[in-house]
Each structure stands twice: as structure tokens, then as C-alpha cells.
Amino acid sequence: MLPGESPSQPDLPERIAAIIIAALQSDKGVHAETVIASAAVMTGEYVLRTASIDISGMKSGSPIFSDIVNQILFEAEGQLTVSDVFINALYAQGIEVGKNSWPEIPEEHQVIMDPLQVIARVRPHIDMLFEHEQIEMLERAYQLASTTALLVAQTRHVLNPDIGKSLAMEAMLKGAKTVPLETA
């Protein structure tokens, strides 16, 4: 079992991915970069929720600066970070995770929809899934990190996974450092 994989819910990343994919499905299919970024933004949002920062007086879309968020995402001592779970899940999918495999994101691989807006639409469905399964807040971030890695792997036939994972990490930071948009 991988870190972030719940023994009772090994299929949770697949179920979450299906919700996000369904929200983005069009007659042309699903835009790989946007689906990856959307899952990653939601991962970051759950990092922010885990940090328990009071954002009640802040405007949606405002930036957040927090050492606690950084610790949960990258620097926790004695605890698995959300980025650790993401990297471990990438590795389990056969994706290179060495430090030289994280390129800049080319202009042609930018998202076509704002992931913050996508997540505002799908948040109630994913929240309901987590509540039904009684998943704790940090574990939710772990599950979403695993979902993001799964989407990077699933889209590797249309998107270089190195670009996909770089895009994901950038979007994860955006989700963790931005006041979420209101549910649509």
C-alpha cells in the first residue's frame, strides 16, 4: 500500500478522477492539462483546509502566505508531506521523479479553463464522497495528491508526464496559496 492510499478505499483516487473528468468532458474529450491542474488545485485546497487557517474575511482568489501550508505541502518533520505522497504516487505509476525531470511548462501546455472555477463546481461532489467515506482532512489531501498523480499517468499518451507533473505541482501551490472560489 502506498502512502496516502487508504486501506479501506484503494479506489478513491479513481473515483475522484472520474468526478473531475465528468465535469470537464466535452464533445472533443477532456483537456489533459486542465484535468491535471484541477485535481492539483483541489489537492492544494485541502492542504489549506488541513492548515485550519481562518480565511473567512478574505476575498475569493486572494493570495495566502502561510508557513503551516508550506509545512504540510513540503516540509513536515516526522510526517509525510502531501508532495511526498504525490511524488511516491508518480513513481508507483512508473513516472520519473528525479530532480532533472521537472521542466518549465511550455505555453502550448497551459490550462484552457481556470482550475479554481472547475473545483468550485465539483467541490460539493468530492466533499460528499469524502464525508461518506469518513476520510480525515489530511488524508483527503493525500488522496487528492494520489488522484493528481493518477491523472498524470492516465494522460501520458497525450501529454509528456514531466510536463504534467510540473503543471500539477504549480497548480497544487496555487490551490494551497489561494482563497478558494465559492462553490458554483
Convert the pLDDT of each residue in 78-127 to its tens digit. 889 999 999 999 999 999 998 888 889 989 998 999 999 999 999 999 99
Instruction: Round the average pLDDT of the chain to a whole number and report it.
Output: 91
pTM above 0.85, yes or no: yes
Instruction: Give the residue carrying C-alpha cell 505509476.
Output: 93
**At a CB cut-off of 8 Å and minimum separation 6, what does 147 contact?**
12, 13, 16, 17, 20, 39, 43
The CA distance from 65 to 155, in Å, is 32
**pLDDT over threshold 60, residue 3:** no
CA distance 155 to 63: 30
Q: What amino acid is encoded at 49 in this protein?
A: R
Q: Taking residues 164-171, report their average pLDDT.
A: 96
Residue carrying C-alpha cell 484541477? 38
Q: What is the mean pLDDT of residues 159-177?
A: 96
Dihedral sign for Cα atoms in the order 132, 143, 108, 25 = negative
Give the whole-angstrom CA distance, residue 12 versus residue 83. Answer: 18
